Amino acid sequence: MDDPDNPDKRRWLRDAVNPDLVQFHSIKQVVYSGKTKFQNIDIIDTGSFGLCLVLDGRIQSSQSDEFIYHEALVHPAMLCHPNPVNIVIAGGGEGAALREVLAYKTVQKVVMVDIDKEVIDICRRFLPDFHQGSFDDQRTDIVISDARKYLQGIKDWFDVAIIDLVEPLEESPASFLYTREFYQIVKESLKVDGIMSVQACASGWTGPENFIAINNTLKSVFSIIRPYQVYVPSFVELWGFATGSANLDPISLSSEEVDSRIAKRLSKEIKSLDGTGFSGLFLLPKYLRQQMAEPGRIVTDKNPLLTYSERDGISSSLPAS
């Protein structure tokens, strides 16, 4: 039997950041554990970060800090757009990105496209603090489909596209949602003054190669690319994002304008971002800027991006050493 006060008798969630770095989280309770058609899914109550959504053995969102990730993903693009009305979210199964988008008073419709209905159903049931009822908002349209197939053929419709996908694991359908061909499809689905934001993998000291490759790929499609990053504690890492647009540039917004738009547009408080913090998102360190300035890999359908994962779910239940 687990004894939370005795580290030798606890169970542990093993989250492999990469082949050389693993973090362990004490498991207070396994709320749900199973496997969908596409991936392993676990809902774990941890001693470190509270409830966590774990897909294929990797923490995707934690109760303690998911707001940092989701606010960084959603708000730069939404605040940059002059009047975001029609929005598409690719992925986002826990409903937290959807929650942030729906906070905008201008939004009339949000299409959330996710391939895995079971993940949505499980998150709807077990993670209410994450989605906060966003699945039931009358402006929400949930589409169960591959995002690429859904967006194919849609032209000049969306104001903002939020790409909130799992990392591109081997044999995962998400691996073809990080390619130049996919970003071109997203671009064509946007209106002329549209903007896209994308989670762009780890950008910090454990290895920014995928972050750099994603940004190189975006540069081959969009005229204006703005990479940025935030530290997400449950990821043990700086995490990268980027916006892409034909004519919208988030760094053109002054801190005063960002604060003004937040006050006018949103129906709730943003916890991690204000005008001052917004401008700081885009200040990348010198070494990273130098690497990104060099010619680099462009991700294509023929040469997709893959990232490390053990795909083990909660297979490890190890005592502390």
255-262: Cβ within 8 A, 24+ apart? 255/279, 258/79, 261/79, 262/79
Q: Give the range among 102-111, 153-162, 203-212 with minimum mean pLDDT.
A: 203-212
Tokens found for residue 300: 């294509």
Share of the chain above pLDDT 70, in %: 91
Q: What average pLDDT does this structure show over 283-305?
A: 91
Q: What average pLDDT does this structure show over 228-248?
A: 96
Provide the annotated active-site residues. 164
Q: Are 240 and 227 in contact (CB under 8 A)?
A: yes
Through-space distance between the first and last CA atoms of the chain, rounded to whole angstroms: 18
Burial 284-320 (b: 16+ CB within 10 A, else e): beeebeeebeeeeebbbeeebbbbbbbbebbebeeee
Residue 99, pLDDT score: 98
pLDDT digits (tens, 9 = 90+) for 164-190: 998 876 656 678 899 999 999 999 999
Angle at 140 between CA 263 and CA 49, to 5 degrees: 70
Q: What residue ranges define each of the domains in the chain, with the CATH number in brackets? A: 7-61 (2.30.140.10), 66-293 (3.40.50.150)
Local structure of residue 114 (DSSP, 8 states): E
Q: Are 138 and 169 in contact (CB under 8 A)?
A: no
pLDDT class of 222 with cuts at 50, 70, 90: very high
Tokens found for residue 315: 């297979």
User: What are the phi and psi torsion angles at 144 (to 5°)?
Assistant: -90, 105
Whether pLDDT at 112 is above 60: yes
Question: What distance in Å separates the CA atoms of residue 37 and residue 30, rounded to the nearest whole number?
Answer: 20
Burial 12-30 (b: 16+ CB within 10 A, else e): bbbbbbeeeeebbbbbbee
Q: Are 68 and 78 in contact (CB under 8 A)?
A: no
143, containing H or E segment: strand 140-144
Alpha helices in the chain (DSSP H): 66-80, 96-102, 117-126, 128-131, 147-151, 180-189, 209-219, 255-265, 275-281, 286-293
Alpha helices in 233-285 (DSSP H): 255-265, 275-281
Q: How many residues does the chain have?
A: 321
Whether pLDDT at 153 is above 90: no
Beta bridge partners of 110: 87, 140
